[in-house]
Each structure stands twice: as C-alpha cells, then as structure tokens.
Structure 1
Amino acid sequence: MSGEGRRQEIRNLLQVRPLSVTELAERYDVSESTIRRDLTRLSESGEIVRTYGGALSSGGEEQTLLERESVARAEKSSIARAAEAHVKDCRLILLDAGTTAGALASRLATHHQLAVATPGLTSVGILAGMPGIELIVLGGAVRPTSLGMIGPLAESAVARLTADAVFLGADGVVAGRGICEAQPEQASLKQLMVERSAAAYVLVHAEKLGRESSHWWTTFTRPWTLITDASATEAQLAPFRADPLCTVELADAFG
C-alpha cells in the first residue's frame, strides 16, 4: 500500500475511534516512526489531532452513549473497581454522567448507607430502588449523546450540597490543564461538582490521556487523583506524575 493510501485509511479509522501508534504500526506492518510521520502529516493538514502515543479525528459528530459503551469495556471495569475503593469512607458522593461512571454505579449498587448524587441517567437506572442507596437526581436538560443532565437546574442542585468525593469522566485530560468536554455547560457543571467536593477523582481510560480535542475545560486548583487503566504508557503518565496537584493511580487489570 502506498503512503497516501495508508494515510487515507488512517483518516477513516480515526473517525471510528482513537488509535495508538503501536496499533497502527502493527496493522500496516510498518515501523512506529513511519506511522508517526503519517500522523504528523495528517495533523499538519488539520485532519486529525495528535495525542500522547496516538491520534484521534479532529472532526465528526460526538459519539453516542451506545458507541461509547462498546469502547474499552474491560479498562472501564478495572477503573471502576479501583475507584470503588475510594468510596469506602464516604457518606455522599457526586457521580458524573457517562459510561465509566456507569461502570462505577454498578459496583455501588450493593453498598449501604451511601448517598449518590448524579446527573447521569445511566447511573440513575442502575441505582434506582437499591435498598442501601439514597439516590439524588441532579435534574436538568438531558444531552442525548451521554444521557447526562446539564444546565442551571443541575448546577443549582449541586450548589446546595457538599460531597465527600466526586468521580468524573471526561472527553480528555491534560496534565496541568484539566479535563475537557464538548459543551461549556458540561465543563461548568463539572467545575461546580469539583468545588463542592472534598476529594476529586478523574476516571478515564488510557486513550484519553493527553487528549485535548474538546474546547471547554474544567480545571483543578487543589489536589486530585487520576485513575486510569494499566495500558497507559510511562510517556502518557509522565506529565501527570510531574503535576504537583495530581496523584496517579493505575487500575489493576486483574482485579
């Protein structure tokens, strides 16, 4: 295959999901340096966005919840297992919308004497009616892509409580900068959730490390914990380890 043909295929593949340099090199049986040159050319033309260790599409529609559920299922499960350990001494937590948060909600369903406040309809469906859970729904306008609620109604509810911890998902996370989202209302709600919580945890699988494709940011001005899966490379993790506010926790893939 010619270089141009390979780059065209890479463009199409990245429309489906982000890919790493290693994955692409194995797929096309070429060196990683060749793939890096391909990605550099594509990023220079604005067709893709480079991330630590790979790339993602710079355009296209936001993935639906169903599409996200099929991505990195094992990794999200391991992250949820690691995050659950931080719920042990909590009485009230804030739980974000999204598929990784939903994986954590499934693990919380058997907990007792725990209040969970969430804008995520996925987590609401999992936790509603669980005898040991006091479920607080942060109502607002529903985003069809994530089934998460946003806007002034959700923010007003968050402003009236304090939580022991918040567990956040994200489109991407960048050391020293924070987490990014597709809409300003999402970033605004997450910022308030952080401010109203004693501890903050960001739950993202490795492909989202260093990703900054979305335009709206939630920042951290005090300590927070990044929980990611064991496939994260040291190159991806190094900026977070160097961030004095960030504690890095790798989820054990084998539980």
Structure 2
Amino acid sequence: MSRRKDARQKTILDRLAIAPTLRVGQLARDSDVTTETIRRDLEELAARGLIARTYGGAMMRQPMEPALAERHKSLVAERAAIAAEAVALMSDARVVMLGSGATTTQLAQRMACQMSDLTVIAHSLSIAAALASNPSIRIIMAPGVYHAGEGAMHGAQTVRFLSDYAADWAVTGASALSPLGPSDARIEAGDVYATMLRQCARTMVIADHSKFDRIATARYADWREIDHLATDAAPRGPLAQALDAAGVKVRLARLG
C-alpha cells in the first residue's frame, strides 16, 4: 500500500470514529482525489472488515456482540487486570451500581475478594453470583425482562427501579468506545447503563482495547459524563483526544 493511500485510509477511519457515516463525494473533495479512488479505498477497508459500505458512502462497522458465555473466554488476562485497576479506585465505596458483562463480572469477582461491608445494585445474575461468595456484600437485584444471552435484566421496570437509588459509583462495560462516548450493542442495556450513570456520584467505564474506535447501536453517555476509563492499552488518535478534552482519567491496567 502506498504512503498516500495508507494516510488517506487512516484519515477515513479517524473521521468515521467521529462521524457515524460519511459520503463518497465529501471524502473525495476533502482528500482532493476522484470519487473512484475513494470508492476503491472504501472497498478495501470493507474487505478488511474495518467499515461497512452504505449507499453512496460508508459507516464504521458495528461490532458483533457474542453471548456472555463466549465473552468470558476471551481476553481473560486483560479483563482481570482491568478489574484489578478498577477495584483499587473504589476502595472507599459503600454503594455501587454495576452493569452486566464479562469485564464487570471479573470486577465483581475481585470485589468479592478485596472489599467488604458493601452494597451492590446489579441487574446481572453473573454479577450477583460472583459477589455472593462474600457474605458481607449486600446484593440488590433489579427486576425486569430477562435477556438469556446476557444473563441480565433490562427494560422499563429495570430503569424505574434503578432511578429510586443513589450510589457512590456506577461502573459499566461497553461494546464499543468512540470519540462520541461509550456504546452498547443492545439498546436495552444502553438504557440501563445511562440510568446508572445518572444516579451515581462517580462514574467509570471498564473495557479492553478491542472496543476502541468502534461505534455500537446504543450510545449511552457522552465522555463528559464519565470520570474514569479503566482499560489495558492507551487510546490513540481521535478517541484519545476526546477523552482528554472531556477530562476522563484513563487508568491503564498492569499486565503480567
């Protein structure tokens, strides 16, 4: 790949991380190349699985979200290290709202080992099971419509229930992290996470590097609503710039 093409395609990816969709004509004018050249760029990026082609343009490819049982098997060391970094930040917490997911389940396991005299408000059965090994942790389960693949409660009843509580911390996972904010592949989960963030004094997203520079269906927060991002690699480019502009403290996990 020529340097000019490489730079042009990187620019396309950086712009798609900020704007969900782009048009061929605008990209051609901005890059000072023909529309045919841009179409070839987009086809190559689509063939590499980085973007999805639309009529007359492109959009960032939506991440596929496997069932929770499958996500537990991947990036295990990275998720465990992120959980260790996150639990260190919450040492003074007394009430925590905890979202569902593989990384938050790792966090719950770490909390059960290292924290005590704590109340956790959760909507995930795997979170509750992980915390139950510590009898000093009080678990409050949110009601709602059960999602079997995620092992969690979602829906209007869940949101109303959470709205009646306040907590020291809200900790959520994410399917994707873009300069626009964290997002989830499931709209119902996004509604739950947005509610948790509104009800808590401090907020944290925990997610591994595979979520960087992606956009999922339901953006549940702007980065200005997030205090901390605990992750396993340093974000770069537009994502790093957005985090810095919003004042998000990036906490890097120690691997190995």
TM over 0.5: yes
Report the counterpart of residue 253 of structure 1 in structure 2.
255
Q: Structure 1: any 5+ residue segments left out of the alignment? A: 1-37, 51-55
CA drift at 1:236 = 7.3
Alignment of 1:54-65 (within 5 A): 58=62, 62-65=65-68
Amino acid at match of 1:126: A
Find the residue that maps to 1:70 and give its secondary structure: coil
Q: Is 1:215 aligned to residue 217 of structure 2?
A: yes
RMSD of the TM alignment (CA)?
A: 2.6
Q: 1:156 aligns with which of 154, 160, 183?
A: 160
* 1:196-239: CA deviation from partner (whole Å, max 9, x where unpaired): 01111000000101111x22111134452111103x45447633
Correspondence for 2:142 among 104, 113, 138: 138
Length-normalised TM-score, structure 2 = 0.73
Q: How many angstroms apart in 2 are the aligned matches of 1:243 and 1:168? A: 21
Match runs of 1:80-95 below 5 Å: 80-95=83-98
| Residues paired across the two proteins, number | 209
Mark the runs of 5 or more structure 2 residues left unpaired by the alignment.
1-39, 53-59
Where in structure 2 are the equivalents of 1:22-171 lying within 5 Å? 40-44=42-46, 48-49=50-51, 58=62, 62-110=65-113, 111-128=115-132, 130-171=134-175
Shift of 1:47: 5.7
Q: Report the TM-score when normalising by structure 1.
A: 0.74
**SS of residue in 2 equivalent to 1:179:** strand
Following TM superposition, the consecutive aligned residue runs of length 4 or more in structure 1 with deviations greater than 2 angstroms are 38-50, 56-59, 220-223, 232-245
Q: Distance in 2 between matches of 1:164 and 1:222?
A: 15
Q: Which has the larger radius of gyration?
A: 2
Query: Which amino acid in the other structure matches residue 155 of structure 1?
Result: V
Cα deviation 1:73-131 (Å, max 9, x = unaligned): 11000000000012211110011101100000001113211001111111111122521
Q: Is it true that 1:227 corresponds to 2:243 in the alignment?
A: no
Q: What code does the residue aligned with 1:138 have?
A: A
Task: Return closer, same or farther for 1:172/1:120 CA change in 2, 3 Å cut-off.
Answer: same
CA–CA distance in 2 between the matches of 1:57 and 1:82? 30
Paired residues of 1:181 and 1:187 also in contact (CA < 8 A): yes
Q: Does 1:242 align with 2:237?
A: no
